[in-house]
Amino acid sequence: MPGQTFLLYHVGTLPAKGTFATPKRRPAQWRDYQSDPVYTSLQLGTGPPLFGYVPGQARHRRVVPIVGLVRGEAVSEVIEEKIFRVFYKPRRSIFIAATQRSLGMAATNRLARELENIGPFIAAEIDFERITSRTKNILGVWFRRNSNNRHIHREAAYGDHVNDAREYERMTREGELTSITAVIEFRGNILRIRFSKFGSVSFLDDLPPETCLAYLESLLDEQIATIPVPEGGHRAAQRRA
């Protein structure tokens, strides 16, 4: 799975197998040839269990703006369809989406909002301090600047052992860490992983799915990734997401 990004969720309610889809809608102003509906679907049990996870697939269709012509008529919107893999462990209520954060959030939010028997999906938060304490080699960082400089909002540093550089110490003092790429040792494997403040985890090497899933689950076990439960519970958090 080279360069594959994963999102780690806790899900409140989700059957272990089946196909679920939100109502299919079509914008009222669209013409007959714009017949593709907008919906989100989730299919679980598409194959044998993998490392204790039920594999599945999600499909998310949404309206996106565009400038173009269809049959000689100007078109300002089209339907975009994205498909991504998912993995679900019912025993621990862990749901993993193999996609970018924006797509994963849009799909899970729509599923939980429109289907009574699914959700909520609460994304994990990554503890950067625990990541940095478990690696000796940081390969890259992005910081959001906490300063009054209106022209410089973000800083980045890349290179082998960038955490040993003097500039890294200054960036740490003056900014907020939003992304880190580090070398992690896990069960005898050396992994290069990029962690985002917003909960996404990207593996930069070609790894078997079992290794990726095992490492993602270990983030919860070691409390490197935690599931926030705000006031009002998980369902209220999904509505606010």
pLDDT in tens, 120-130: 999 998 999 89
- The answer to whether residue 237 is domain-embedded is no
Q: Are residues 8 and 118 in the same domain?
A: yes
- The answer to whether residue 56 is domain-embedded is yes
Q: What is the pLDDT of residues 54-104, one digit of tens each?
A: 999 999 998 888 787 777 777 777 788 999 999 999 999 999 999 998 999
Tell me which residue range forms the domain holding 147: 126-198
Q: State the total domains in the chain.
A: 2
Q: Are residues 111 and 148 in the same domain?
A: no
- The answer to whether residue 204 is domain-embedded is no
Q: Are residues 91 and 192 in the same domain?
A: no
Q: Are residues 23 and 97 in the same domain?
A: yes
- The answer to whether residue 230 is domain-embedded is no
Domain boundary among 123, 143, 166: 123
**3-class DSSP state for residue 30?**
coil
The rounded mean pLDDT for the chain is 85
- The answer to whether residue 31 is domain-embedded is yes
- The answer to whether residue 174 is domain-embedded is yes
Confidence class of residue 11 from pLDDT cuts 50, 70 and 90? very high
Residue 235: predicted pLDDT: 45
Residue 236: predicted pLDDT: 43
Residue 210: predicted pLDDT: 87
Q: Are residues 113 and 73 in the same domain?
A: yes
- The answer to whether residue 49 is domain-embedded is yes
Determine how many CB atoms are found less than 10 A away from the CB of residue 233.
12
Q: What is the pTM of this model?
A: 0.83
Ranges 21-35, 113-127, 166-180, 202-216: which has the least confidence: 21-35
Q: Are residues 155 and 56 in the same domain?
A: no
- The answer to whether residue 232 is domain-embedded is no
Calculate mean pLDDT across residues 179-190: 92
Residue 71: predicted pLDDT: 73
Ranges 6-10, 31-35, 55-59, 100-104: which has the least confidence: 31-35
Q: Are residues 107 and 138 in the same domain?
A: no
Q: Are residues 91 and 147 in the same domain?
A: no
Confidence class of residue 154 from pLDDT cuts 50, 70 and 90? confident
Long-range CB contacts for residues 168-176, cutoff 8 Å, separation at least 24: 168/138, 168/141, 171/141, 171/143, 172/143, 174/143, 174/145, 174/146, 174/147, 175/143, 175/144, 175/145, 175/146, 175/147, 176/143, 176/144, 176/146
Domain boundary among 85, 106, 123: 123
User: Is there a contact between 9 and 123 (Cβ–Cβ < 8 Å)?
Assistant: yes
Domain boundary among 78, 95, 123: 123
CA 8 vs CA 129, 218, 229: distances in Å:
18, 11, 15
Q: What letter represents residue 174's amino acid?
A: E
Q: Are residues 109 and 164 in the same domain?
A: no
Q: Are residues 111 and 18 in the same domain?
A: yes
Q: Are residues 167 and 115 in the same domain?
A: no
Judged against a pLDDT cut of 70, whether residue 240 lies above it is answered with: no
Q: Are residues 29 and 136 in the same domain?
A: no
